[in-house]
């Protein structure tokens, strides 16, 4: 149903509540335990209907119910796969597809770069569900009565329902993402799109929350189950819409973060130079950071400011600078012109306290200190 680009959050890869069931086109496909519970519930709810169309099945009706739940899961997966394939077509890497209690999430690693891409990635999901539902409905009409027809009919109903519900224009539903793309197109501002679609999502959540009361008011009788379901779905939609609004606020501030303007001037020193001498030279040069280089002048270590401060003055003349430096791994080297979301993603992929910034020609530009980035980010509020 929903799909999105969480800023980083690779945590779900080792999510203990999710079961990896395979991969399609290099995308991890996962099922959360919450979905397995819902699937079991669906099998249980479908069983009496199955009993009616094919009496005498006995306990086998639950097996048939489970088979229906599996088919339903597969059709929901097709919905998510359609989002994933569309994203890949636009060159956006897709990390995973996860089914959870109310549908699925396709985790796309990068934001679509145009409203058109955003529109198609979102719209293809409900279109896929409506197509599956329509196909199943056509099949249902020409099939002989019986168990198989019942299952095909139930698949038609659920997929049509999923397709229609996902057209509701509030985030996190696909329709909300379509609305976001439309506002983005109109205003040229993706964050404004998210704010509008997020607030629309909150309205949808409130309508869901009060739906049993609204139904009562319209003269439809409701039971306690309706209130529980409305509470669960309403709460889920509210928190997802709120999350979208929050992330839009964060994202709107990201372009202000530019590595080049946050960089500290750095001084390159030989690895074996005593720390005291390195610090003295850095102070003389007005450099806010230190990088160690090997005999050929290649940067090999990033000096950690906290480690320097933690080293007592009387130890500094006897300690080689390399002792307080972290080896420059590939992930710790960034281009000086990186900024915004790309910068945040690069930092999340290789968490560190310092990063080496290189010029276009590979020359040493400076050092980016994580705490400087954090401070700059808090200052933009
Ligand atoms: Zn969807």
**CA of residue 66 to ligand 1 center, whole Å:** 24
Distance 164 CA to ligand 1 centre (A): 11
In this prediction, residue 70 carries a pLDDT of 87
- Summary mean pLDDT of the chain: 87
Q: What's the 139 CA to ligand 1 centre distance in angstroms?
A: 24
Q: How far is the CA of 82 from the centre of ligand 1 (A)?
A: 8
Give me the mean pLDDT over the 77-103 stretch. Answer: 88
Which residues, at least 6 apart from 251, have a Cβ–Cβ distance to it below 8 Å? 7, 190, 191, 194, 341
Residue 116 CA, ligand 1 centroid: distance in Å = 16
pLDDT score of 95: 87
pLDDT of amino acid 1:
58
**C-alpha 1 to ligand 1 mean position (Å):** 3
Peptide bond into 172 cis (omega under 30): yes
Q: How far apart are CA 278 and CA 194, in angstroms?
A: 49
Tens digit of pLDDT for each residue in 144-153? Answer: 888 888 889 9
Question: CB–CB of 35/101 below 8 Å?
Answer: yes
According to the model, what pLDDT value does residue 381 have? 52
> What is the Å distance from ligand 1's center to 166 Cα?
7
Distance 184 CA to ligand 1 centre (A): 19
* pLDDT value for 344: 85
CA of 163 to the centre of ligand 1 (A): 9
Over residues 264-277, the mean pLDDT reads 91
Sheet harboring 299-303: ordered strands across? 266-270, 289-293, 299-303, 325-327
259 alpha carbon – ligand 1 mean position (Å): 35
Min mean pLDDT across 131-140, 222-231, 262-271 is at: 222-231
Output the CA 126–ligand 1 centroid distance in Å: 6
**Ion ligand 1, residue ranges at CB < 5 A:** 1, 125, 174
Mean local confidence (pLDDT), 237-249 = 87
Q: How far is the CA of 237 from the centre of ligand 1 (A)?
A: 14
Q: What is the percent of the chain where pLDDT is above 90? A: 39
- Residue 99 sits at the vertex; the CA angle it makes with 98 and 100, to the nearest 5 degrees, is 115
Whole-prediction pTM: 0.70
Query: CA angle at residue 82 from 80 to 85, to 5 degrees?
Result: 110
- State how far the Cα of 191 lies from the Cα of 177, in Å rounded to an integer: 12
Ligand 1 centroid to Cα of residue 80, in Å, is 6
Q: State whether the Cα torsion 102-104-109-114 is positive or negative.
A: negative
- pLDDT of 7 reads 39
Determine the pLDDT at residue 13.
47
Quote the pLDDT of residue 12.
43
Q: Where does the pLDDT of residue 4 fall: very low under 50, low under 70, confident under 90, or very high at 90 and above? A: low
Interval between CA 43 and ligand 1 midpoint (Å)? 23
- The pLDDT tens digits for 210-232 are 999 998 899 888 888 889 889 98
Q: Is pLDDT above 80 for 14?
A: no
């Amino acid at each position: 149903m929903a799909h999105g680009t969480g800023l980083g959050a690779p945590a779900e890869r080792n999510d203990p509540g999710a079961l990896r069931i395979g991969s399609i086109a290099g995308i991890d496909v996962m099922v959360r335990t919450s979905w397995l519970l819902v699937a079991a519930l669906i099998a249980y709810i479908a069983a009496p209907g199955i009993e009616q169309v094919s009496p005498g099945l006995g306990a086998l009706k639950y097996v048939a119910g489970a088979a229906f739940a599996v088919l339903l899961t597969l059709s929901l997966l097709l919905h998510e796969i359609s989002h994933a394939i569309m994203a890949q077509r636009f060159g956006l890497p897709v990390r995973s597809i996860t089914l959870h209690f109310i549908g699925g999430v396709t985790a796309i690693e990068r934001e679509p770069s145009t409203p058109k891409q955003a529109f198609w990635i979102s719209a293809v999901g409900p279109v896929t569900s409506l197509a599956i539902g329509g196909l199943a409905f056509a099949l249902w009409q020409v099939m002989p009565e019986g168990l198989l027809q019942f299952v095909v009919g139930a698949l038609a109903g659920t997929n049509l329902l999923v397709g229609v519900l996902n057209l509701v224009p509030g985030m996190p539903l696909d329709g909300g993402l379509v609305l976001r793309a439309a506002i983005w197109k109109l205003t040229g501002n993706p964050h404004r799109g998210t704010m509008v679609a997020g607030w629309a999502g909150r309205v949808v959540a409130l309508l869901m929350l009060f739906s049993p009361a609204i139904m009562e008011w319209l003269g439809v009788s409701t039971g306690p189950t309706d209130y529980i379901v409305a509470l669960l779905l309403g709460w889920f939609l509210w928190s997802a819409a709120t999350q979208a609004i929050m992330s839009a606020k964060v994202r709107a501030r990201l372009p202000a973060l530019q590595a080049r303007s946050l960089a500290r001037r750095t001084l390159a020193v030989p690895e074996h130079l005593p720390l005291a001498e390195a610090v003295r030279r850095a102070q003389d040069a007005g450099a806010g950071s230190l990088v160690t280089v090997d005999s050929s002048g290649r940067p090999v270590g990033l000096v950690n400011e906290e480690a320097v401060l933690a080293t007592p003055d009387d130890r500094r003349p006897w300690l080689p600078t390399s002792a307080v430096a972290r080896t420059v791994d590939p992930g710790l080297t960034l281009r000086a012109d990186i900024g915004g979301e790309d910068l945040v993603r690069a930092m999340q992929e290789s968490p560190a306290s310092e990063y080496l910034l290189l010029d276009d020609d590979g020359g040493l530009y400076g050092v980016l200190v994580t705490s400087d980035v954090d401070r700059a980010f808090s200052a933009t509020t």
